Amino acid sequence: MPEKAKKTIAVDSPEGFFDRELSWLAFARRVLAQIDDADLPLLERAKFAGIMGMLHDEFFMKRIGGLKRRIKKGSSKLSLDGRTASEQLEACRIEIRDQVEILTATLEENLLPAFAAEGLPIRRHADLEPAQQKALREYFRNSVQPILTPLAVDAEHPFPFISNDSLNLAVQRTDRTGQERFVRIKLPDNRPRWVPLEDGAGFVPLEQVIAANLDLMFASGAPTEVHLFRVTRGAEGDPLTSADFSEDDLQIPGSIVRQVSAELKARRFAGVVRLQVSAEMPKKMVKWVSKQLGIEPEDLYRTETLLGLKDLLELGSIDRPDLKLEPHTPVIHPRLRHLPPGDPAAIFDEITRGDILVHHPYDSFDTSVLRFIESAAVDPSVLAIKLTIYRTNKDSPIVQALARAARLGKQVAVLVEITARFDEAPNIAWGTFLENEGVHVAYGVEKLKTHVKLALVVREEEGQVRRYAHVGTGNYHTGTARIYEDLGILTCHREICEDVAGVFNQLTGATYPAAYEELLVAPVTMRQRFLELIQREAEHARNGRVSGIRAKMNQLQDPPVISELYKASQAGVPISLNVRGLCCLRPGVPGLSENIRVFGVIGRFLEHSRIYRFANGGEAEHFIGSADWMHRNLTNRVETIMQVLDPRIQAHLDGILGVYEKDNYSAWDAQPDGTYERRSPIEGEDRLAAQETFIRMAGEHRRPGDLAEALESEPTEVPVPVDDL
């Protein structure tokens, strides 16, 4: 009997793509696995449990909320894999409920017992000794009760507004007339969620402390029922850009700021997309609360464990070094170690000796990028500073340095992207502060979101003007620079700096250069240039020349890029893609992508850098920058990717890519069906975790390019495909 012919999947067929939402949830599953990793110290596992809570919260706010809006509008647009919005929503609900079930079991059967075994139990108030309950009663009376505001629901009091992300007690009590009343009490955000017992015998959740002492608040005595619930609201609408405003609006100074401020107010009252309730809440109360919130049964989640899991991140402050990973202290980059303190010109002198690649958090951000900006602020030779702010931290030293520069009479221009999701309010505040300090502030570009990570310094040197630039993959945020993995290059290369200056002219003055020489800029040139680079590799492979694509990014979703990668794979190009989060490309599918492998790394730091390498017939070209291969990055945002010209830095990037590819412990390989399998060392093989390797190398003052075994010119092996799809 003749063998059945294998089905060939077209490069643009829905069968060739994963659903974006489900792929993102697959990333959440990889984070979920960290909670149960016995090799991780206990407080690190608790941190990942907190991160899981944050991931699910964000997914409901952004993605579930978005799907619900599409359904409500009657959108007929299909996902990349051919699903309707309703089908996507149902698939997401099934996956989330499965993850919640796993998360609950892991917490109740593993993590919480481990806390108890280490003398740090999270205890039930009902199980405490009378003396402990008495001490907590005094704590409640003195430190909690004065803050609380009970809100009743009756003929004179409507059901109160339940704010997003808040923990609430649903209280059923009997008043003096014998009538049953519902009262809502919101847990205060300015009290610790985990109340420590005075004798060091563990912690009690704040909601239990409040519930056990409510008789102090009600003259009629203790309530008959007290249960915890939590609401998640959608981040209403897609992130605003100036495309959301009319032509007339755009002519009014400050109109975007006012529109974004209005959106922030509206978001507070956005629709509820999830109701979480404690498992013990009676059906009658659940039904009544659901009705008041307009919740569908599918959006109700009964929880057998703690609510508000993101609060587990607070446990990281516990002083138990034995239950944490050894602290990592970023080191000063070897090129910057000798710089004399207090000399603002020193860092510029060093940059003139050659480009400097900084790899955070292994290389110190404070002694490299921050010093670059702070030096520019006080250096008498500096004439101007330009910088983009997408996200930054409270009390940002970079923002303070920019204000100081303006006060010293330097020309300072800052592009503040105020439509950065969930950072709109602080960005508006920073923009206002800088404007008041005399800084030229621009708020985005018409119809586009600004995501570039650029800084430009203009100095006068011996009667000539010279530019210096920082091109990065991460935000100018001193806090996340310690926990996000990112790259940046400090350079005074003339053509690169001219391109950076052109980008700033585009951002602040709507002035477009004739052409960009060394930067790929979205949405002007970036997608087309990447497509050409992929196509060139396919041509090299067809002609027997050295070919290969190695890339590292956060997410991969752009259909034209994915289709070209499939064509390159079919031409014989070996492709290795290190994708941290969602990936809509199906790797290892016979006839479609059998030469493509996809993997991602999960570790103590959030992988955030973007690197793109094309073999180019043996004369490899390297790129770093702000953009992922996502439709939004290539179409709806201003992004920059810099071609790396320095051979030493090219070698370092090869080393970085090589270390990730050789990771046999923290890397997860994508399978053709969308699942991921974690790597583990084979018998006799030493463990190699990429982030551990980079920490060790930084401590030994070695650079990734020094690892000879990581400098293979191209990936030569890809996983053998499993079953045909």
Active site amino acids: 451
Q: Nearest-CA neighbor of 307 among 214, 235, 232, 233?
A: 232
Here the tokens at position 275 are 């109701």
Is residue 87 exposed (0-12), middle (13-18) or buried (19+ Cβ within 10 Å)?
middle
The token duo for 256 is 């975007």
289: left (phi over 0), alpha (psi -120 to 50) or beta: alpha
With contact defined as beta carbons under 8 Å apart, do 418 and 245 qualify?
no
Cis peptide before 253 (omega within 30 of 0): no
The span from the CA of 624 to the CA of 612, in Å, is 6
> How deeply is 44 buried, as exposed, middle or buried, from its count of CB atoms within 10 A (0-12, 13-18, 19+)?
middle
User: Buried b / exposed e across 169-180, counting CB within 10 Å, b at 16+?
Assistant: bbbbbeeeeeee
Token pair listed for 8 = 């060939």
Q: Say if strands 606-607 and 464-472 run parallel, antiparallel, or are unpaired.
A: unpaired
Spatial distance between the Cα atoms of 694 and 685, rounded to a whole number of angstroms: 19
| Inter-axis angle of helices 42-58 and 20-35, nearest 10 | 160
**Structure-derived torsion over alpha carbons of residues 578, 579, 583, 585, reported in degrees to the nearest 10:** -20
> What DSSP line would sit under 69-84, residue for residue?
HHHHHT--PPPTTS--
**Between 65-73 and 85-106, two packed helices, what is the crossing angle to 10 degrees?**
160
Q: Which run of H or E residues covers position 416? A: strand 411-416
Partner residues linked to 470 by β-bridges: 455, 490
Whose CA is closest to 357, among 647, 554, 579?
647
Residue ranges with strand state E in 523-592: 549-553, 575-579
Across-strand partners of 180? 174
In this structure, the dihedral spanned by the alpha carbons of residues 362, 367, 372 and 377, taken in order and rounded to 10 degrees, is: 150
Instruction: Give, in degrees to the nearest 5, the angle at Cα 521 between 518 and 527.
Output: 110
Task: Classify 546 as helix, strand or coil.
Answer: coil
- For the chain, the residue count is 725
What is the rounded CA–CA span in Å between residue 68 and residue 89?
Answer: 8
